[in-house]
Amino acid sequence: MSKEIGFIGLGSMGMPMAGNLAKAGYAVRAYNRTRKSGLREGIVAVENPRQAAAAGVVVTMVADDAALRAVCEGEGGLLAGLPHDGLHISMSTVAPATVQALAGEHARRGQRFVSAPVFGRPQAAAAAQLWIVAGGADAALAQAAPVFAALGQGHFHVGPKPESANIVKLGGNFLIAAMLEALGEVYALGRKAGLAPAELLKIYNTALFKSPIYENYGRLAAEARFDPPGFKLRLGLKDLRLVLQAAQALETPMPLASLIHDHMLAGVARGLGELDWAALTRVLAENAGCT
């Protein structure tokens, strides 16, 4: 593998990830729609996704399905720039259907494709502590392995279909949202009974869950610290929508996903969309008449 790599998408996740690739010795050709300068040593800005993809291996980490399609298509796009046998590692949280369609495009061009969304927030990205869920052919995965090693603490190979990785990723976000929904309902009940959410959390996470993620999100919710957001409610809503689309396509009723979706939608409709998605719990408190 060439030590050159392309990287597309320098947001709050992509920037530290590109940095870790540079630290690991890669010469990074980075493309971002808006940001062109102020990049650390080892990262060079290029003009378009096509130039990034010309490196032979290219990582994409963009905001949503539309952004992913935008950087892939067209004259200056990734698909046009990636050489035959080149590898695209798509790490964005996007719809399985989008990934499936993109995989077909790459196959038609004789290009390799791995879908590899991640678990972890910007801090984990900076510390190269992401968990990576990867779907794709064995050979492509083998080629991607050193990249994964530079970015995370481990990866899971979930089979040859790239879109499987996105189902797993969306399922994980759904599980977190389900935890928030459940905590939010119990907190509202507790508040009505004169029991402080923080005290409830301490009991439940000591006696039952012993889980850092209950600790972190449970505390955000108990203290109503929703601003600045780590992950915005309107993005959580988008992910729940993607979960439900996947569930629809696979003919799987997911009534809890529907319930959470509707509560998030109520939150966005009431003006909470730019807060942290733990503000889902505020919707539940308001429904109970807590102010």
Residue 85: strand, helix, or coil: coil
Of the residues 247, 274, 278, 280, which one makes contact with a second copy according to CB under 8 A = 247
Answer yes or no whether residue 195 interacts with a second copy by CB under 8 A.
yes
Give the residue numbers annotated as catalytic, written as ranges.
169
Instruction: Write the single-letter amino acid at 241.
Output: R
Place of tokens 């990582």: 59
Tokens of 161: 């279909």
Residue 259: strand, helix, or coil: helix
Answer yes or no whether residue 268 interacts with a second copy by CB under 8 A.
yes
Instruction: Write the single-letter amino acid at 271.
Output: G
Of the residues 179, 233, 278, 280, which one makes contact with a second copy according to CB under 8 A = 179
Of the residues 141, 200, 221, 280, which one makes contact with a second copy according to CB under 8 A = 200
Q: Which is nearer to a second copy, 23 or 192 (CB)?
A: 192
Spell out, one character per residue from 16 to 55, where the chain touches a second copy: x when CB under 8 A holds, - when not. ----------------------------------------
Answer yes or no whether residue 174 interacts with a second copy by CB under 8 A.
yes
DSSP structural state of residue 277: G
Instruction: Write the single-letter amino acid at 232.
Output: K
Answer yes or no whether residue 222 interacts with a second copy by CB under 8 A.
no
State which of positions 224-243 bind a second copy (CB under 8 A): 241
Which residues fall within 8 angstroms of residue 248, CB to CB, at 6 or more apart? none
Answer yes or no whether residue 220 interacts with a second copy by CB under 8 A.
no
Please, what is the minimum distance in Å from the beta carbon of residue 269 to a second copy? 4
Which residues fall within 8 angstroms of residue 193, CB to CB, at 6 or more apart? none
Q: Which is nearer to a second copy, 27 or 288 (CB)?
A: 288
State which of positions 115-144 bind a second copy (CB under 8 A): 119-120, 131, 133
Tokens of 143: 């080629």
Three-state helix/strand/coil letters over 17-32: HHHHHHHCCCEEEEEC
State which of positions 44-103 bind a second copy (CB under 8 A): 96
Residue (of 4, 8, 15, 66) closest to 32 by Cα position: 8
For residues 171-190, one letter each, b for 16 or more C-beta atoms within 10 angstroms of the residue's C-beta and e for the rest, the string is: ebbbebbebbbbbbbbbbeb
Pairing of strands 4-8, 27-31: parallel
Q: Which is nearer to a second copy, 88 or 263 (CB)?
A: 263
Element (H, E) at 269: helix 255-269
Of the residues 54, 71, 158, 221, which one makes contact with a second copy according to CB under 8 A = 158
Q: Which is nearer to a second copy, 82 or 132 (CB)?
A: 132
Residue (of 139, 150, 142, 140) closest to 114 by Cα position: 140
Please, what is the minimum distance in Å from the beta carbon of residue 28 to a second copy? 25
Binding-residue total with a second copy (CB under 8 A): 73
Please, what is the minimum distance in Å from the beta carbon of residue 152 to a second copy? 9
Of the residues 54, 168, 233, 279, which one makes contact with a second copy according to CB under 8 A = 168
Of the residues 86, 148, 181, 276, which one makes contact with a second copy according to CB under 8 A = 181
Candidates 4-12, 105-113, 190-198, 274-282 — which segment interacts with a second copy by CB under 8 A? 190-198
54 phi, psi to nearest 5 deg: -65, -15
